[in-house]
A and B are shown apart, each in its own frame.
Chain A
Amino acid sequence: MSGYSILVDTSKCTACRGCQIACKEWNQLAGTATKNTGSYENPKDLSSDTYKIVRFAEGQGANGKAFWHFFTEQCRHCLSPGCMAEVEEDEIVVDEKTGAVVYTPKTKDLDFKATLEGCPYDIPRQDAKTKVLTKCTFCNDRVGNGMLPACVKACPTGAMTFGKRDEIVAAAKKREAELKKDFPKAVALTPDDVRVIYVLKDDPKTYWKYAAGR
């Protein structure tokens, strides 16, 4: 599989949310009305106005000290996208050059529920008015023009990197091995199945309920 991939090394993420805002900026998505519900995490869920959210998860680690895990949630751009099970024509297409899984306006004709259920990561959402399904575009419009995805470009720490798929997969596996020295549970999440590969220091469930899929 060629094309591109994104590595999300959560061990370097500081939850600045530059990626979340950059996604809104590039895709010109509206800021929605929110309330603080006792967490930094906001908005509370993906929507047709939000393709990407930094999830904040906290708790008490084995050493008795607090942990605070950050997980910048977005479409994984699966190599065999489960969300495409219902596709008949070109409602959802895979860009052969980049590998991006792209939702077209024709997704308005898809069964939203079935599409959502096909996604192990709970990613697709539906625009209530137009019925068009939405999610992260892999910034295919930027990538196709030689630019980095907006989220990757905004990341100050290098937690998000973008590159040729084989290089990113190798980097993910290397990083997993490095982190395992200090964090035995460290894991690169299914690098052979997805284009957006997360590397975590701990059990995926301590990051986000769908981090490793349903």
Chain B
Amino acid sequence: MTNHWIDLKNSDCILIMGSNAAANHPISMKWVTKAKENGGKVISVDPRFTQTSAIADFYTALRSGTDIAFLGGMIKYILDNKKYHEDYVVNYTNASFIVGDKYDFSDGLFSGYDPKKRAYDKSLWSFKVDSKGIPEKDAKLANPRSVLQLLKKHYSRYTPEKVSEITGTPVEDLKTAYEMYASTGTKDRAGTIMYAMGWTQHTVGVQNIRAMSIIQLLLGNIGLPGGGVNALRGESNVQGSTDQAILFHIWPGYLKASVASLPTLDEYNKKFTPKVADPLAANWWQNYPKYSVSLLKSFFGDTATKENGFGYSWLPKLDDGQNCSWLNLFDSMYDGKIKGFFAWGQNPACSGANSNKVRKALGKLEWLVNVNIFDNETGSFWKGPGEDPKAIKTEVFMLPCAASVEKEGSIINSGRWNQWRYKACDPPGDAKPDGDIMIELMHEIKELYKKEGGKFPTPILNLKWDYVNDKGEFDAHKMAKELNGYFLADVEVQGQKFKKGDLVPSFAFLQADGTTSSANWLYCNSYTGKGNMMARRNKPDPTGLGLFSEWAWCWPVNRRVLYNRASVDLDGNPWNPKRPLIKWDGKAWVGDVPDGGWPPMSDKEKTKYPFIMKPEGFGYLFGPGLNDGPFPEHYEPLECPVPENAMSKQFINPTVKIFGGEMDKHFTCDPRYPIVGTTYRVTEHWQTGIMTRWQPWLIEAQPQVFVEMSEELAKLRGITNGEMVKVSSARGEVQCVAMVTTRFRPFKLGKLTVHQVGVPWCFGWVTPKEGGESANLLTPTVGDPNTMIPESKAFMVNVEKLKGGA
């Protein structure tokens, strides 16, 4: 989230799309309700009328996988009707930038496409710069090569009629939704978006978000209370796990993972430290080496020296272009290339797309360690449906771990609030906190390397590994302080003197010379000389906007709303004086922690542009960094019900990786699988249901997997409500209870009628016995070209009566 949960209450219009927040983020509705009480409107856009739709002021449906068409139409509406916030667009976005001559777009393809590599040469999409290297601009936004004019041109094709033909949304409904949301383009109004996996789990997932970011920038909604782009994270601490880089392509704090072509720290830092000519660009990432070196010092302690590149060479490096994300990982596992696997706090046998392939892949391992609080379909895969335990050689270890209330530590929520939690009780039996399991494991590994040497013992032996208390137990406070970082020598920084061992007060004090450590620069300021900021529980709210700045702590540096310097005019006065998030009092900013303390834009000497994380300092309407284009474009899902893309000759996203293995089958526009399928969760079950399927009250309320379908489809298939049916795709099948509902309706796509169904993925065969299986047995092996998140939200299925009954 650029903003935070409580801030939803400040919104004048909340678009909930790609999310069923009422079911999956129930507490969020507390703040949505408050927004409504304040006169705010709620729009729900979803293929199915959901619990969220039930409280919305306006609901309309779209076919899964067509969000860019819907949003592209909204961009066109905003531009055609001049609903955008002009001062904001001109001064804070790159609307005025002139795009270089090599950028082009024609019939679904941007310039620079290489069909063999299924990739673009992104250098063709760069901005035109002057002799100093500063982007050329046209503040009148009239130059045909200006970003705004190119944006206009790109979305001129997204007429309501064309959009309706793709999405199945009635033209009248499109206009109503566009009008309602675009009303937030005025200075005194703010609109926000609540989205979740309904937007991300697509082959155009990142571009779905980009399309909304463009809308938010046009309407001047980013940086404002009640505005922003807000991802509702699906797990209580998934924001934390991303921050700490439980991902292959980044290091903690969103630093880049090292690659083979960057063998030295100097080369690595040079590559990822942007240089910018414009003196008014803060270019925050110019500090990159301070963060990377402080991280290396945290990893390796005293053994990391200037001479050895602070141990950079000891770290594993990706091959250039290597992608180790989920789908590729399990593809390699399926091919027998992976020996061992820790399934830690997860259940890939039910959560992984194309779960049949995942389950087969687990059988190719030599060993599997399942760390969880309950048995699950992953740890017990070898005795699952259709498996022959004798034929599976994988040795499986179950390590019982402590539940969240059985250990101390912090969790960080969607709004980036890092909140300290205390232990309520001891874990049962032999169960241990994850931290203790990791500490013990690494001690053993270190011992083995010490004893036996091994191929490359240096990084293992040099790893600083002292996060334990006097009893040798994992110490959450020590780890939290490590994340914050220490001064490693007596130094003076910015006129302040620090002693070796002092905690670093904020990341502005981190150094690239090895005199500071920080295991995550973004968390620097969370545990300082003033104490554990995450454990704060003070409730003053001077702005009345619900910032609660003394409650816990949020990254970065307790800034509750990102890009908040865009919430004010050039003189530093809030666009909307009734919601003053920050304000320049002539000497300093008052309110939220500003995105840098520089004076407002009217001080042309000392100011900096507000979008400090972008090299040029402006919000990106034109975004040349992504793999699939600088503007979002509608492509059909890998599996779709239509024979062609109504928008262009380019059928699917041209940059997706196509998996061609025997278990990766996919069929588009195939009469055997004529129905659009999607997956979702229910309130009662958490993720794959590992924690909730054992809970009698919850399983009583939501006992069995079901498939929701329209009355029209049920009639076509002769299905009655409540009977058992089979839902199948090219990859698997799930037996479900039919839930025939008026909340799903067939889509009219031009002359074509398309049906859609949905199946929750929270069930699995381990428990309860009649609960049924996960919807992920149906989902495809294909991902977004930027993130590789699987396309679980739009694929093709069939639904049939179950012959002979169940």
| CB-contact partner of A36 in B29, B698, B703, B740, under 8 A | B703
Kindly list chain A residues whose C-beta atoms are within 8 Å of the C-beta of B738.
38
Q: Are B704 and A35 in contact (CB under 8 A)?
A: yes
Residue of B nearest to A49 (CB): B700
Kindly list chain B residues whose C-beta atoms are within 8 Å of the C-beta of A14.
22-23, 26, 29, 51-52, 54-55
Compute how far the CA of A141 lies from the CA of B701 in the bound complex, rounded to whole angstroms: 25
Compute how far the CA of A141 lies from the CA of B739 in the bound complex, rounded to whole angstroms: 39
In chain B, positions 18-51 with a C-beta closer than 8 Å to chain A are 22-23, 26-27, 29-30, 32-33, 49, 51
Compute how far the CA of A58 lies from the CA of B50 in the bound complex, rounded to whole angstroms: 11
Kindly list chain A residues whose C-beta atoms are within 8 Å of the C-beta of B377.
none
* Number of A-B residue pairs at CB separation under 8 A: 112
Kindly list chain A residues whose C-beta atoms are within 8 Å of the C-beta of B303.
none
| CB-contact partner of B703 in A12, A18, A38, A42, under 8 A | A42
Compute how far the CA of A211 lies from the CA of B421 in the bound complex, rounded to whole angstroms: 42
> B721 at the A/B interface (Cβ < 8 Å)?
yes
User: In the complex, what's the smallest C-beta–C-beta distance from A49 to chain B, in angstroms?
Assistant: 9
Residue of B nearest to A154 (CB): B26
| CB-contact partner of B683 in A16, A32, A69, under 8 A | A16
Q: Are A38 and B33 in contact (CB under 8 A)?
A: no
Q: Are A16 and B23 in contact (CB under 8 A)?
A: yes
Compute how far the CA of A101 lies from the CA of B29 in the bound complex, rounded to whole angstroms: 32
> A20 at the A/B interface (Cβ < 8 Å)?
yes
Q: Are B721 and A38 in contact (CB under 8 A)?
A: yes
Q: 4 closest Cβ contacts across the A-B interface? A: A31-B696, A38-B722, A38-B721, A14-B22
Q: Which size bracket describes the interface of A in this complex?
A: 35 or more
Q: Are B54 and A70 in contact (CB under 8 A)?
A: yes
> A148 at the A/B interface (Cβ < 8 Å)?
no
> B697 at the A/B interface (Cβ < 8 Å)?
yes
Selecting from A59-67, A105-113, A122-130, A189-197, the interface stretch reads A59-67
> A104 at the A/B interface (Cβ < 8 Å)?
no
> A30 at the A/B interface (Cβ < 8 Å)?
yes
> A39 at the A/B interface (Cβ < 8 Å)?
yes
> B59 at the A/B interface (Cβ < 8 Å)?
yes
Residue of B nearest to A40 (CB): B702
| CB-contact partner of A31 in B700, B723, B737, B740, under 8 A | B700
> A145 at the A/B interface (Cβ < 8 Å)?
no
Residue of A nearest to B706 (CB): A36
Residues of B whose CB lies within 8 Å of any CB of A are: 22-23, 26-27, 29-30, 32-33, 49, 51-55, 59, 682-684, 695-704, 706, 721-723, 737-743, 745, 770
Compute how far the CA of A178 lies from the CA of B703 in the bound complex, rounded to whole angstroms: 38
Known: A36-B739, A156-B30. A17 touches B704 (CB 8 A): no
Kindly list chain B residues whose C-beta atoms are within 8 Å of the C-beta of A21.
697-698, 701
> A187 at the A/B interface (Cβ < 8 Å)?
no
Q: Are B53 and A68 in contact (CB under 8 A)?
A: yes
User: In the complex, what's the smallest C-beta–C-beta distance from A21 to chain B, in angstroms?
Assistant: 5
Q: Are B743 and A66 in contact (CB under 8 A)?
A: yes
User: In the complex, what's the smallest C-beta–C-beta distance from A91 to chain B, in angstroms?
Assistant: 29
9 A-B pairs within 8 Å (CB atoms) are namely: A11-B55, A31-B695, A36-B722, A38-B706, A38-B723, A40-B682, A42-B702, A68-B743, A69-B54
Q: Are A35 and B770 in contact (CB under 8 A)?
A: yes
Q: Are A42 and B700 in contact (CB under 8 A)?
A: yes
Residue of A nearest to B703 (CB): A34
Kindly list chain A residues whose C-beta atoms are within 8 Å of the C-beta of B741.
58, 66
| CB-contact partner of A12 in B33, B52, B722, under 8 A | B33
Kindly list chain B residues whose C-beta atoms are within 8 Å of the C-beta of A66.
49, 53, 59, 741-743, 745
User: In the complex, what's the smallest C-beta–C-beta distance from A23 to chain B, in angstroms?
Assistant: 9
Q: Are B26 and A32 in contact (CB under 8 A)?
A: no
Kindly list chain A residues whose C-beta atoms are within 8 Å of the C-beta of B51.
14-16, 68, 70
User: In the complex, what's the smallest C-beta–C-beta distance from B772 to chain A, in angstroms?
Assistant: 9
| CB-contact partner of B701 in A20, A38, A70, under 8 A | A20
Q: Are B700 and A32 in contact (CB under 8 A)?
A: yes
Residue of A nearest to B34 (CB): A158
User: In the complex, what's the smallest C-beta–C-beta distance from A82 to chain B, in angstroms?
Assistant: 29
Compute how far the CA of A156 lies from the CA of B702 in the bound complex, rounded to whole angstroms: 20
> A25 at the A/B interface (Cβ < 8 Å)?
yes
Compute how far the CA of A20 lies from the CA of B696 in the bound complex, rounded to whole angstroms: 13
Residue of A nearest to B698 (CB): A21
Known: A12-B33, A39-B739, A65-B59. A34 touches B700 (CB 8 A): yes
Q: Are B697 and A18 in contact (CB under 8 A)?
A: no
Residue of A nearest to B170 (CB): A64
Q: Are A25 and B697 in contact (CB under 8 A)?
A: yes
Residue of A nearest to B741 (CB): A58
Residue of B nearest to A70 (CB): B54
Compute how far the CA of A141 lies from the CA of B640 in the bound complex, rounded to whole angstroms: 56
Kindly list chain A residues whose C-beta atoms are within 8 Å of the C-beta of B737.
35-38
> A180 at the A/B interface (Cβ < 8 Å)?
no
| CB-contact partner of B700 in A16, A40, A43, A65, under 8 A | A43
Q: Are B49 and A65 in contact (CB under 8 A)?
A: yes
User: In the complex, what's the smallest C-beta–C-beta distance from A8 to chain B, in angstroms?
Assistant: 14
Compute how far the CA of A69 lies from the CA of B53 in the bound complex, rounded to whole angstroms: 11
> A24 at the A/B interface (Cβ < 8 Å)?
yes
Kindly list chain B residues whose C-beta atoms are within 8 Å of the C-beta of A37.
721-722, 737
| CB-contact partner of B54 in A32, A38, A68, under 8 A | A68
Kindly list chain A residues whose C-beta atoms are within 8 Å of the C-beta of B30.
156-158
Q: Are B54 and A67 in contact (CB under 8 A)?
A: yes
Compute how far the CA of A16 lies from the CA of B681 in the bound complex, rounded to whole angstroms: 12
Q: Are B701 and A156 in contact (CB under 8 A)?
A: no
Task: Report which residue of B55, B695, B722, B740 has the largest number of chain A beta carbons within 10 angstroms of its beta carbon.
Answer: B55
Compute how far the CA of A14 lies from the CA of B703 in the bound complex, rounded to whole angstroms: 19
Compute how far the CA of A58 lies from the CA of B741 in the bound complex, rounded to whole angstroms: 8
User: In the complex, what's the smallest C-beta–C-beta distance from A194 to chain B, in angstroms?
Assistant: 24
Residue of A nearest to B742 (CB): A66
User: In the complex, what's the smallest C-beta–C-beta distance from A72 to chain B, in angstroms?
Assistant: 13
Task: Report which residue of B26, B54, B702, B770 has the largest number of chain A beta carbons within 10 angstroms of its beta carbon.
Answer: B54
Kindly list chain A residues whose C-beta atoms are within 8 Å of the C-beta of B49.
65-66, 68
**What sequence of 0s and 1s flags, for each residue 159-181 of chain A, a beta carbon within 8 Å of any chain B beta carbon?**
00000000000000000000000
Known: A14-B55, A38-B738, A38-B740. A156 touches B27 (CB 8 A): yes
Compute how far the CA of A15 lies from the CA of B54 in the bound complex, rounded to whole angstroms: 9
Q: Are B59 and A16 in contact (CB under 8 A)?
A: no
Kindly list chain B residues whose C-beta atoms are within 8 Å of the C-beta of A70.
51, 54
Residue of A nearest to B52 (CB): A14
Q: Are A17 and B29 in contact (CB under 8 A)?
A: no
User: In the complex, what's the smallest C-beta–C-beta distance from A89 to chain B, in angstroms?
Assistant: 34
Given contacts A17-B701, A35-B770, A156-B29, 19 further A-B contacts (CB under 8 A): A14-B26, A14-B54, A14-B55, A17-B684, A24-B697, A25-B697, A33-B703, A34-B699, A36-B702, A36-B706, A36-B722, A42-B700, A59-B742, A65-B49, A66-B53, A66-B59, A66-B741, A66-B743, A67-B54
| CB-contact partner of A156 in B26, B55, B699, B704, under 8 A | B26
Q: Are A31 and B699 in contact (CB under 8 A)?
A: yes
Kindly list chain B residues whose C-beta atoms are within 8 Å of the C-beta of A69.
54
Q: Are B742 and A58 in contact (CB under 8 A)?
A: yes
User: In the complex, what's the smallest C-beta–C-beta distance from A27 to chain B, in angstroms?
Assistant: 11
Compute how far the CA of A31 lies from the CA of B120 in the bound complex, rounded to whole angstroms: 56
Residue of A nearest to B772 (CB): A36
